Amino acid sequence: MLSWNVRGFNNPQKREVCKNLLKEWKCDIVCFQETKLSSLNSFVVRSLWGSPFLDWVVLDAINTAGGVLLVWDKRVFEKVDCAIRRFSVNVLFKGVVDDFVWACSGVYGPNEDSQRGALWEELSRMHSRWNTAWCVFGDFNIIRYPSERLGCETFSPAMFAFSDFIEGLHLLGLEIRGQIVCQELIEPWHRWIGWNTLVMCLKGFSLV
């Protein structure tokens, strides 16, 4: 499972780099943020995944701002239902082998504090919609603690609101494995590829 802020998929060479890394990492589910494409088609998605066994949902960028793409291996997970919202793509999955049903939300959050309340409400409604095991991941564009951002020394109301959202839905942050290795792998492309992610799930449920 991978969450990746790619900061734009406009460049074919960049997409080729992403495809090669995904082949190496062998992820079953990938959430790309900031695609910066107002329209994504199957040709572009397949050029990223490099396998015919895929399914996907997308939240198109507005002009060249934002955009979320969630791609998965359909040999592993089957889509039962999906919902595309203002800041997120949401899929109800069923395991192909074990029939386990769970929900997944891929997020690219707003940069303006005034819009973040709408994101928390949107995700809360998705949680209530399916009322099952739930994993939410992506780039929320907000931190919980000042230590998470260089030069930030004080808490803000937006940070407290983020913590309230996490605690209110009883979410638990998952350990991000392999982050240092991945940073080293993509270092030559640091101007192209961002690494800023948070993975959370309901307490008592783990994807690891």
Residue 33 corresponds to which tokens in the numbers above? Answer: 């943020």
Contacts of 145 (CB under 8 A, 6+ apart): 155, 159
Instruction: Confirm whether residue 167 is marked as ligand binding.
Output: no
Instruction: Confirm whether residue 16 is marked as ligand binding.
Output: no
In total, the chain counts a number of residues equal to 208
Residue 123 corresponds to which tokens in the numbers above? Answer: 């995700």
* 26 CB neighbour count, 10 Å cutoff: 8
Nearest Cα neighbor of 108 from 208, 32, 175 is 32
Binding site as annotated, residues: 5, 34
Binding site as annotated, residues for Mg(2+): 5, 34
